[in-house]
Structure 1
Amino acid sequence: MIHKRHKEIIYHLLSADQSLTGEQLARKLSVSTRTIRSDIKTLNEILAPYEVEIRSSRQHGYDIGKEVRNSDFLERIIQQEDLFSAVPNTPEERMSFILFKLTSSLDYISMESLADEVYVSKTTISYDIKKIIEFLKPFPNLELGISPVSGLYLYGTESAKRIVLGHMLSREKLSEVGSVLLKLSNLLVTDNIKRDLFRIYDMIVVALNEAGYSMTDNDLNLLTVDFLLSCKRIQLGFNAEFNGKSPDISSIVSKFVTELERIFNIRIGVEDRIYLQQSFKAKRVMKMNNEDFVLDEETRQVTTCLLDEIRQKYGYDFSANQTFISNLSLHLNSMIHRFRRGQYDDNPLKEEVKKNYSLAFEIATLIIPILKEKLDVLINESELTFIALHIAVALEEKLEKQRVAILCGSGLSTAQLVKRRLLSHFGDQMNIVGHFPLYQLPQVMNKEFGAVHLIITTLPIQGNYDIPIIQVNPLVTREDLDKIAQYIDMSYYPLVMEEKGQEGLRFLDDQLFERFNGEDYFESIANLCRRLQVGGYIENEKKFYDSVLEREGLFSTIMDSGVAIPHPMEAASRTSIVAVGTFKNPIRHQGRKIKLVLLFAVNTKEREMLAAMYGKIEALLDSPAGIAAAASAEKFSDFLKVLKNV
């Protein structure tokens, strides 16, 4: 019987201008050369009655003779629908098939039987199994048993198996999930599966709207797939398990259960109802207009502890920011339920968050010991970056608007024009204190009209003043707006000004710079720790070093850009400072390239200094050219020059 891969072999041979080797065909179809040989043999047996043959040559490979290339029979083979569509052909399809097979098997499955079922060689199956082993790593509640004699067996609970199947299907668009499952018709009841998928989707949307909930699109799709898988597993006789006191089932989940029982003509038992409720609670709710929604007590405790830690360690008090607290609590509530299920969300923007919101990410790490102590769970780096995004928004709101005074000598109309131009472009970033004539400059400087962060003037002003002054055209040109924007952006992470009036970076010290040649990552950290000790910035070099390694053990601080930002678990420095290490030749650590090390030693009470440090480092990380120049710096002065210009 001809199936999809056979058709693809014929297509590639007919499309080629010359013979194709077994290796070339194997690469095109993502199988082994042994599988190709087996397929060619099968094809020739099928094609023999039609006097068509795929010729083989050890020297040249495989081809189809010119005399039969235009055969109507071959054309019909390529154009017809698959005669054996249930056979998985691609590596992804085989992976889905094997995982579903393993989750449904009550006994070991031999590699040979799997190879026979999907028409590939045992070598190809071995490659597929390696990918499955890698895929299962984030799921600690599942273990793939491999026996040379018996074969393969997937150990784990039914709940864990449903979660991993759902994770596998989540890589597909919702519209494609039905097509993927149709390939598994010999493992699942697939009648009307596409229709059922969208009936579940519509059912959830209607119930969410009626209950006053709002859910992310991604989580809505995940919940749809999870409900479908659960019903299909129940049809096969696989039921969820639950140990402990049965919780009350919420009204919205009860509605789901009633409708699912009707759609699939099944009975959903207590354990499966609990599983469906856990699945619902693990999804992120964006907002709700429903008094029935109650945060779990453990979520309240974790949120309160995190806010207290942020206030104590970093000095940021978010207790009055109810929007932040509500959004954070909703996220933590679903996150904790995911952790309970052994389920972790992946953030595709993880590296971008770490690079662009490094301060928020470090603040987010405060939740690690809280979760460990209160819930005995570990959070992964991706989940941590989601929390960092919530904190980043709250930090931006904490940044005080710039108080701006306008100095104008041309009358009220010009002053009003300048004011309108400024507010139309920077209304969310500045407050206009007022507009004043030039002679009132001394009063403005003396804060007689209140605090002023920036003076914008249409008149030239001579002299040195404590408040920054920007001169603009009375019409406020695009060039003027760019100058103002540059200042406002810089003011978010203010730089410390040296006595000479030059832009300084007080969180750097020329004695805390080292050019490495041959040292590995940990040796470079140790050397920089020693410099911190000698400089009097830290009290205990060994304790500081051990804390840095402990932090590295949680999540690597090495960025994709080759910049590492190691730091200790706890603030342990008299003042906030950065020790810098560059490498004559880039090194590798745990498979990641390193060309620049920035060892942070912070005092969390120095909020302005921390803002300056993280702001400047974020600017550096956002500049590939800046990173390259900084990494090649051989002297502190070279590095300082680069950092001043980013």
Structure 2
Amino acid sequence: MRACDILHMLEEAALPLRQEDIAARLKVSKRSVQEDLRHLRQAGPAHGYSLATRRGQGIVLEINDHGAFERYLGQLDAQNAAENISAGDLLQMLLAASSSDGFMSAQELADRAGTSRGTVFAALDSLEELAGKYGLMLERERSRGLRVSGSSRHMKACLAQFLASEDSSSAHAADAVLGDRERVARLVLDALNGAGLEVNYPEFSLLAGFAAATLLLAKNGRTGKELENQSERKDASKFEELASDLVESLSDAFGIALDGNSGPDMAWALSRAVRMNAALPGDVQALDSDLDAFFRDYDAAHGTSYAADRVLRTMLLAHLSFMVERLARKVSYSSPLTREFEITHPASMNMAIRLCSLMEEHLGGAATPDEVMLVACHLAAHDERVRQQILRSYARIAVVCSTGGGGSYLVRLQFESVFPTADVRTFSYQQQEEVLQFDPNLVFSMVPFQIETQIPVIYIHGMLNQHDLSGIRESVRTGDMNPSAVEATVWDLIVPGCFMRIDGSDIADYRQLLYRMGTELEEQGFAQDGFTELVLERESFSSTKYLHGVCIPHPIETNGKRDAIAVAIADAGLLGEEPGRVRIVFMICLTKKSMPLYQRIAKRLYQLMLRPELVEQACQSASSRELRIRLAGMEGVLNA
């Protein structure tokens, strides 16, 4: 309900709000806001408030009776929550229903949800569709009401997903029945540790939820059908003894009798959660051969060294082999960090997408984004090892100072923090011959270096601040230690000819916008032919629309002619609502030799999208020059 949102906005605002600002934040038209304000003004006198318009400034909320206003706001909040009841909320309530047959009338369900029967009936189709995704069925009987039915295993697995959220209705129901859900998790953890089994934390959370769901359903008298699946039964057979012991421990600890399905169901849940240390599959040699060919081709095209990294090859081969075994059992790992990793490590993620695509024959199908991210972690680890090797290669660092004494000593300490394993020495501007005798790998100089040398010389100003040191440290980590890399900022890549503001008149959707931006980069000579298709191919794997409308599209394979960042800024609310909202788009175009820049750009844009107020500041830019200035001014925050 927009009226409720508008009142909250006005109550929290320190300054008057313009109608345009309210419309932008709510992503609606100004006319819609005007209509809402008209209704709010009419309701004001009866509820202890009034809305005043200050000429040239905006609208302010004036509260005359705080008690009446708070009651009215509470009513609006309740209506807002009732109108937004989800199919997931209803599904949880039906699963956790405390009746032996599981039926609940529409009115009872509406009362529990704090909404109307009409809202419940309107959500039934969505509820039925959601239940089907979990292998469950929504039953509707005129005399008895509504019930979700299916196998006990699927009911518990469904409820376990909802129990992972601490604020869900099923979590509150479980807390009311069990008192201490953490005790359930401890019993599960003790059982796993006692058996010497390894489980990733996301899978452990679901396993603990499955155990809690087992207790909750049993306490409420809910029993499902027994599910007989020979393949799943075979996978679960090795966990039957452990499952039986765990079920007995849960029953004793909470004083709840568990039925005969509980043991087999728990064994099934264990088989899906436990990391299997099975022998490598028989076609491991073919897998290794394909992996070697992929790395050699990639190294030849990008000048990298993946094929020569034996640690990477060994660990990734083991990971892919176990992944083949898991996916054959239809067990897929998940991770809550996938989206963040995708933003901050785009190059590793793109490479992993390509690798998993080529490995589909071995994997038996397409890998999920979470599984691809886990593969990408191995590639990112290789990149980190390479960066550490580069850092260690700088054994001797010379710093030429304009003065001596305390200033020289301070500069040496600063550079030792960047090159902790190097021999860092400072020289006066008169000791340039001594610098050459020291034979450094790198020279930083505050004054013009008079002697010709092949040693890289990077000029710095007098005293270095934290921003300067951070830039040098970042350049060291990316292996891009040349004067232009240290002195330039990534925002210099934003080019005037590829900057646009769009109002939606000629852009239908996000993919059309990507096509237009990619085509402009190609036509202006920044990208090679086919760049746009590679951007859209990457988009087809997972969306590059991220937090607060910040989008970072990029090609799945780097093929720029010149480094550039194209930018499009959309009017507030354009191209859909959150989470698919588009506010500002940074399309990355880099040459193969500039791939290390991906990390620097991604790091800053990730910090930007975490701060919506900075996103809005950036979106006020009317030109590429203004945007570069704004972003450069935020550098202390974005490069933190």
Q: TM-score, normalised by structure 1?
A: 0.62
Check conservation: 1:538, 1:574, Cα contact below 8 A. Answer: yes
Residue 563 of structure 1 is matched in structure 2 by 550
Residue 170 of structure 1 is matched in structure 2 by 164
Change in Cα spacing, 1:396 to 1:278, as seen in structure 2 (3 Å) is: same
Q: Which moved more, 1:330-339 or 1:555-564?
A: 330-339
1:425 aligns with 2:417: yes
Change in Cα spacing, 1:417 to 1:374, as seen in structure 2 (3 Å) is: same
Residue 277 of structure 2 is matched in structure 1 by 293
Does the residue aligned with 2:273 lie in a helix, a strand or coil?
Answer: helix
RMSD of aligned Cα (Å) = 5.7
Inter-partner Cα distance in structure 1 for 2:606 and 2:151:
43
1:589 maps to which of 571, 575, 578: 575
Does the residue aligned with 1:401 lie in a helix, a strand or coil?
Answer: helix
One-letter amino acid of the counterpart of residue 425, structure 1:
S
Check conservation: 2:207, 2:270, Cα contact below 8 A. Answer: no
1:529 aligns with 2:518: yes
Aligned residues: 536
| CA-CA distance at 1:486 after TM superposition | 3.2
Residue 83 of structure 1 is matched in structure 2 by none
1:226 maps to which of 200, 210, 231: 210
Identity, % of aligned positions: 14
Change in Cα spacing, 1:273 to 1:178, as seen in structure 2 (3 Å) is: closer
Residue 39 of structure 2 is matched in structure 1 by none
Residue 396 of structure 2 is matched in structure 1 by 405
Residue 15 of structure 2 is matched in structure 1 by none
Correspondence list, 1:476-495, <5 A: 483-493=468-478
| CA-CA distance at 1:582 after TM superposition | 2.8
Residue 566 of structure 2 is matched in structure 1 by 580
Change in Cα spacing, 1:99 to 1:367, as seen in structure 2 (3 Å) is: farther
Residue 619 of structure 1 is matched in structure 2 by 604
Which digits, 9 at most, give the CA deviation of each residue in 1:575-614, with x for residues without a partner?
36445143474562242443433334455xx2x4011244
Does the residue aligned with 1:455 lie in a helix, a strand or coil?
Answer: strand
Which digits, 9 at most, give the CA deviation of each residue in 1:369-399, with x for residues without a partner?
2575444555555665566556545433321
Residue 209 of structure 1 is matched in structure 2 by 193
Q: Which moved more, 1:518-527 or 1:462-471?
A: 462-471
**Larger fraction in helix:** 2
Residue 98 of structure 1 is matched in structure 2 by 94
One-letter amino acid of the counterpart of residue 317, structure 1:
Y
Residue 122 of structure 1 is matched in structure 2 by 117
Residue 363 of structure 1 is matched in structure 2 by 351
| CA-CA distance at 1:170 after TM superposition | 1.4
Change in Cα spacing, 1:377 to 1:237, as seen in structure 2 (3 Å) is: same
One-letter amino acid of the counterpart of residue 610, structure 1:
M
Residue 7 of structure 2 is matched in structure 1 by none
Correspondence list, 1:10-89, <5 A: 25=75, 27-28=77-78
Inter-partner Cα distance in structure 2 for 1:524 and 1:514:
11
| CA-CA distance at 1:441 after TM superposition | 4.6
Q: Which moved more, 1:162-171 or 1:230-239?
A: 230-239
Check conservation: 1:470, 1:484, Cα contact below 8 A. Answer: no
> Unaligned regions of 5+ residues in structure 1, if any?
1-15, 34-88, 184-189, 286-291
2:587 maps to which of 593, 596, 599: 599
| CA-CA distance at 1:275 after TM superposition | 0.8
Change in Cα spacing, 1:486 to 1:178, as seen in structure 2 (3 Å) is: closer
Check conservation: 1:162, 1:226, Cα contact below 8 A. Answer: yes
Inter-partner Cα distance in structure 2 for 1:119 and 1:563:
36
Inter-partner Cα distance in structure 1 for 2:399 and 2:482:
28
One-letter amino acid of the counterpart of residue 486, structure 1:
G
1:552 aligns with 2:544: no
Inter-partner Cα distance in structure 1 for 2:123 and 2:527:
51
Check conservation: 2:350, 2:556, Cα contact below 8 A. Answer: no
Inter-partner Cα distance in structure 2 for 1:26 and 1:498:
60
Residue 160 of structure 1 is matched in structure 2 by 154
Inter-partner Cα distance in structure 1 for 2:287 and 2:594:
28
Inter-partner Cα distance in structure 2 for 1:372 and 1:310:
16
Q: TM-score, normalised by structure 2?
A: 0.62
Correspondence list, 1:132-151, <5 A: 132=127, 136=130, 140-142=133-135, 145=138
Does the residue aligned with 1:244 lie in a helix, a strand or coil?
Answer: helix
Change in Cα spacing, 1:326 to 1:101, as seen in structure 2 (3 Å) is: farther
Q: Which moved more, 1:611-620 or 1:462-471?
A: 462-471
Q: Which moved more, 1:162-171 or 1:380-389?
A: 380-389
Does the residue aligned with 2:595 lie in a helix, a strand or coil?
Answer: helix
Check conservation: 1:419, 1:432, Cα contact below 8 A. Answer: no
Q: Which moved more, 1:392-401 or 1:630-639?
A: 630-639
Change in Cα spacing, 1:143 to 1:318, as seen in structure 2 (3 Å) is: farther
Inter-partner Cα distance in structure 1 for 2:485 and 2:411:
33
Change in Cα spacing, 1:159 to 1:630, as seen in structure 2 (3 Å) is: same
1:272 aligns with 2:265: yes
Residue 47 of structure 1 is matched in structure 2 by none
Inter-partner Cα distance in structure 1 for 2:359 and 2:215:
33
Inter-partner Cα distance in structure 2 for 1:395 and 1:590:
37
Inter-partner Cα distance in structure 1 for 2:569 and 2:330:
44
One-letter amino acid of the counterpart of residue 168, structure 1:
F
Check conservation: 1:114, 1:125, Cα contact below 8 A. Answer: yes
